[in-house]
Amino acid sequence: MVCVCTYIGASAQAVNKHTTLQSEIYNAMATQSPTMAVPTDAQLIQAQADLWRHSLCHLTAMALRCAVQLGIPTAIHRLGGTTSVSDLVTALSLPQSKMPYLGRVLRLLATSGALASPKEGTYSLVPLSYLLVDGVFIDGEASQKALLLSTTSRYNIEAALGLADWFKKDITPPPSPFEDVHGATLFEESMALLDPESDELFHEALAAHDHLGIGTILRECHDLFKGVQSLTDCCGGDGTTARAIVKAFPHIKCNVLDLPKVIEKVPSDGIVNYVAGDLFHAIPPAQVLMLKLVLHFWSDEDCINILAQCKKAIPSREMGGKVIVIDIVVGSSSKEMLETQLLVDMLMLVCTRGRQRDENDWSTIFTKAGFSGYKIVKKLGPRGVIEVYP
Ligand SMILES: C[S@+](CC[C@H](N)C(=O)[O-])C[C@H]1O[C@@H](n2cnc3c(N)ncnc32)[C@H](O)[C@@H]1O
């Protein structure tokens, strides 16, 4: 690294006009950041390009949102999986005059990996965009359209725009930036009162997010359920996960615990036993409890309280007692995967009071809740499947 002072000193010795100008620029930078090494010309050009990318990447999300709102993934699917821009314009009944503009949106989406472009001017689905096709079915309804539309909704964007103001306020316990900006809490009555349509979209998005992947877990972590006689899925909603478990392991007796307002809307199915309650107060006992995509929604203190309730509801480790936690475990050798995990953590920061945790965080919480040990059984993409032992 070249120290600022040395660099400026060297520039000052040069005599031509160009270097004098450069020296002035470097001097101005050095005044602002005396410890930062002055970037070279190549670094400056790269830094400017990187800055453009960082400050404009929300437009990739907006381009994807626009594609979903126009029904592009579904249209490509119906056209056989690959299509030209002109066929897409016709299929979507868009004005022909918009064809060049649509081509530019599709080009960005292909470059960012949301579509593929097998040859110039043609576009096809990739697994990501396949998840945005209407009615796509993989181990159940798998379309993630609602998730995309909710994370890019004006409510989420406005909450993120309020982040700097939120940091300056000293309120204990802090509301989320979402609550601070909108005066309503995601997934609660206040949001339904503020905007029933968006509240419905947020719930649809949550269900889409939570339901995708149980089939993979059951296939990849078969041993997790070996010898299990009974299981309570805590915060199991409408029982989608529990029914999938019973389908794969018919001998397991499954309970689903959720709030009364959720359970009263679930028709009994003769497959799963639905229990209305609050996991902070009492959990229906079982050999194994499952907390799938639950704890990231809560603070560390709440997680410890929830896990302490779990411990009361299971038998000893020798009797097969355990809690299965399925949640993000932050940390990956892939920069892209780590960035994904941290972006989801930012989503939690902006919209909820929860957070994503690394292995160290998880270990601390398990110990504080009185558990004797844990094992990360499998990492599935950004998530980990963890067994926690009493
Ligand atoms: C994100 S979690 C559900 C994730 C779910 N386990 C899955 O993987 O599909 C949301 C659920 O937690 C439920 N819930 C929230 N607070 C609860 C509480 N105190 N006791 C029981 N259920 C609760 C909500 O009603 C909602 O159904």
pLDDT in tens, the chain (390 residues): 333 333 333 344 444 555 455 556 555 555 565 678 899 999 999 999 999 999 999 999 999 999 999 999 999 999 999 999 999 999 999 999 999 999 999 999 999 999 999 999 999 999 999 999 999 999 888 999 999 999 999 999 999 999 999 999 999 989 999 999 999 999 999 999 999 999 999 999 999 999 999 999 999 999 999 999 999 999 999 999 999 999 999 999 999 999 999 999 999 889 999 999 999 999 999 999 999 999 999 999 999 999 999 999 999 999 999 999 999 999 999 999 999 999 999 999 999 999 999 999 999 999 999 999 999 999 999 999 999 999
How many Å lie between the centroid of ligand 1 and the Cα of residue 262?
A: 9
Quote the pLDDT of residue 195: 98
List all residues 6 or more positions away from 243 whose beta carbon is below 8 Å from its beta carbon: 254, 269, 271, 272
Atom of ligand 1 at shortest range from CA of 207: 9
Q: Is the dihedral of CA 101, 105, 108, 109 positive or negative?
A: negative
Quote the pLDDT of residue 388: 98
Quote the pLDDT of residue 22: 53
262 lines ligand 1 (CB under 6 A): yes
282 lines ligand 1 (CB under 6 A): no
Which residues are the active-site residues? 296
Quote the pLDDT of residue 30: 53
SS3 percent helix, strand, coil of the chain, rounded to 5, is 55, 15, 30
User: 300: number of CA atoms within 13 Å, CB side?
Assistant: 11
How many Å lie between the centroid of ligand 1 and the Cα of residue 274?
A: 13
> Per residue, what are the HEC states of 235-256?
CCCCCHHHHHHHHHCCCCEEEE
How many Å lie between the centroid of ligand 1 and the Cα of residue 354?
A: 13
Look at ligand 1, atom 12, and give the residue with the nearest C-alpha.
235
Burial class of residue 9, CB neighbours in 10 A (0-12, 13-18, 19+): exposed
pLDDT by residue (tens digit) across 255-299? 999 999 999 999 988 999 999 999 999 999 999 999 999 999 999
How many Å lie between the centroid of ligand 1 and the Cα of residue 366?
A: 20
Quote the pLDDT of residue 32: 60
188 lines ligand 1 (CB under 6 A): no
217 lines ligand 1 (CB under 6 A): no
Quote the pLDDT of residue 35: 78
Atom of ligand 1 at shortest range from CA of 291: 6
274 lines ligand 1 (CB under 6 A): no
DSSP code of residue 137: B
- Is the ipTM beyond the 0.90 threshold? yes
